Protein backbone atom coordinates (compact mmCIF):
# COMPACT_ATOMS: atom_id res chain seq x y z
CA UNK A 1 0.00 0.00 0.00
CA UNK A 2 1.66 3.22 -1.14
CA UNK A 3 -0.88 5.75 0.16
CA UNK A 4 -0.51 7.78 3.35
CA UNK A 5 -3.39 7.33 5.76
CA UNK A 6 -4.35 10.81 7.04
CA UNK A 7 -7.37 9.73 9.08
CA UNK A 8 -5.49 9.55 12.43
CA UNK A 9 -3.95 12.96 11.73
CA UNK A 10 -7.38 14.51 11.08
CA UNK A 11 -8.78 12.89 14.23
CA UNK A 12 -6.00 14.36 16.38
CA UNK A 13 -6.41 17.81 14.82
CA UNK A 14 -10.17 17.81 15.47
CA UNK A 15 -9.65 16.83 19.11
CA UNK A 16 -7.08 19.61 19.54
CA UNK A 17 -9.43 22.09 17.90
CA UNK A 18 -12.21 21.21 20.31
CA UNK A 19 -9.87 21.45 23.31
CA UNK A 20 -8.66 24.92 22.27
CA UNK A 21 -12.21 26.10 21.58
CA UNK A 22 -13.23 25.12 25.09
CA UNK A 23 -10.17 26.52 26.93
CA UNK A 24 -9.69 29.81 25.01
CA UNK A 25 -12.59 31.70 26.67
CA UNK A 26 -11.32 30.66 30.10
CA UNK A 27 -7.94 32.31 29.45
CA UNK A 28 -9.42 35.79 28.97
CA UNK A 29 -10.97 35.99 32.45
CA UNK A 30 -9.78 38.84 34.63
CA UNK A 31 -10.84 41.21 37.35
CA UNK A 32 -14.30 42.64 36.67
CA UNK A 33 -14.15 46.42 36.50
CA UNK A 34 -16.53 49.02 35.03
CA UNK A 35 -14.30 51.28 32.88
CA UNK A 36 -15.28 54.75 31.68
CA UNK A 37 -15.55 55.31 27.91
CA UNK A 38 -13.14 57.36 25.81
CA UNK A 39 -12.83 58.28 22.14
CA UNK A 40 -9.01 58.21 22.18
CA UNK A 41 -7.14 55.79 19.95
CA UNK A 42 -5.38 52.79 21.48
CA UNK A 43 -1.61 52.73 21.86
CA UNK A 44 0.50 50.47 19.61
CA UNK A 45 1.73 47.37 21.43
CA UNK A 46 5.14 45.81 20.81
CA UNK A 47 5.29 43.70 24.00
CA UNK A 48 2.68 42.43 26.43
CA UNK A 49 2.12 45.28 28.94
CA UNK A 50 1.54 44.89 32.66
CA UNK A 51 -1.96 45.87 33.73
CA UNK A 52 -2.77 47.40 37.11
CA UNK A 53 -6.47 47.30 37.98
CA UNK A 54 -8.23 49.21 40.74
CA UNK A 55 -11.70 47.75 41.29
CA UNK A 56 -14.79 49.42 42.76
CA UNK A 57 -13.73 48.46 46.31
CA UNK A 58 -10.37 50.23 45.87
CA UNK A 59 -8.38 46.97 45.78
CA UNK A 60 -5.29 46.96 43.57
CA UNK A 61 -4.40 44.08 41.24
CA UNK A 62 -1.37 43.42 39.04
CA UNK A 63 -2.71 41.36 36.15
CA UNK A 64 -5.08 39.09 38.18
CA UNK A 65 -3.11 39.05 41.46
CA UNK A 66 -4.26 41.19 44.39
CA UNK A 67 -1.46 43.29 45.87
CA UNK A 68 -1.19 45.84 48.66
CA UNK A 69 -0.71 49.39 47.39
CA UNK A 70 2.55 49.82 49.35
CA UNK A 71 4.11 46.80 47.63
CA UNK A 72 3.01 47.79 44.14
CA UNK A 73 6.28 49.22 42.82
CA UNK A 74 8.48 46.43 44.23
CA UNK A 75 6.21 43.75 42.75
CA UNK A 76 6.18 45.44 39.34
CA UNK A 77 9.96 45.85 39.40
CA UNK A 78 10.27 42.14 40.14
CA UNK A 79 7.82 41.19 37.36
CA UNK A 80 9.54 43.45 34.82
CA UNK A 81 13.04 42.31 35.85
CA UNK A 82 13.97 45.86 37.01
CA UNK A 83 13.20 47.35 33.59
CA UNK A 84 11.55 50.73 34.11
CA UNK A 85 10.75 51.04 30.38
CA UNK A 86 8.06 48.36 30.68
CA UNK A 87 4.67 49.50 29.40
CA UNK A 88 2.11 49.64 32.23
CA UNK A 89 -1.64 50.13 31.80
CA UNK A 90 -3.69 51.43 34.74
CA UNK A 91 -7.38 50.52 34.78
CA UNK A 92 -9.63 52.14 37.36
CA UNK A 93 -13.32 51.52 37.96
CA UNK A 94 -15.29 54.66 37.19
CA UNK A 95 -16.99 54.59 40.60
CA UNK A 96 -13.75 54.95 42.62
CA UNK A 97 -12.16 58.18 43.77
CA UNK A 98 -9.86 59.73 41.16
CA UNK A 99 -7.29 60.31 43.92
CA UNK A 100 -6.75 56.54 44.23
CA UNK A 101 -5.81 56.31 40.54
CA UNK A 102 -3.50 59.30 40.87
CA UNK A 103 -1.89 57.74 43.96
CA UNK A 104 -1.05 54.62 41.93
CA UNK A 105 0.22 56.75 39.01
CA UNK A 106 2.40 58.76 41.41
CA UNK A 107 3.88 55.61 42.93
CA UNK A 108 4.74 54.31 39.47
CA UNK A 109 6.32 57.63 38.54
CA UNK A 110 8.43 57.66 41.73
CA UNK A 111 9.45 54.08 40.93
CA UNK A 112 10.96 55.33 37.66
CA UNK A 113 8.39 53.91 35.24
CA UNK A 114 7.99 56.18 32.22
CA UNK A 115 5.56 54.26 29.98
CA UNK A 116 2.38 54.42 32.03
CA UNK A 117 -1.03 54.86 30.40
CA UNK A 118 -4.62 55.01 31.61
CA UNK A 119 -7.16 52.68 30.03
CA UNK A 120 -10.78 53.56 29.43
CA UNK A 121 -13.68 51.32 28.42
CA UNK A 122 -13.22 51.87 24.68
CA UNK A 123 -9.42 51.55 24.69
CA UNK A 124 -9.57 48.44 26.90
CA UNK A 125 -11.86 46.70 24.45
CA UNK A 126 -9.61 47.70 21.52
CA UNK A 127 -6.48 46.40 23.26
CA UNK A 128 -8.06 42.96 23.74
CA UNK A 129 -8.40 42.49 19.96
Tens digit of each residue's pLDDT (9 = 90 or more) over 7-56: 999 999 999 999 999 888 777 656 677 777 777 666 555 567 888 888 88
Looking at domain 50-127, its CATH architecture is 2-Layer Sandwich (3.30)
Q: Is residue 99 within a helix (H) or strand (E), and if so which, with residue range?
A: helix 98-110
pTM above 0.85, yes or no: no
Average pLDDT, the chain: 80
pLDDT at position 128: 47
Of 33, 47, 58, the C-alpha closest to 124 is 33
pLDDT at position 122: 57
Q: Can you give the residue ranges of every domain in the chain?
A: 50-127
Amino acid sequence: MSEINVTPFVDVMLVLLIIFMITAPMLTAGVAVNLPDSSANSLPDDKEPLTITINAKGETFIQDTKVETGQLVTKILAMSKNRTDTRIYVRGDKSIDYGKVMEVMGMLSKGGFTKVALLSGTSASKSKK
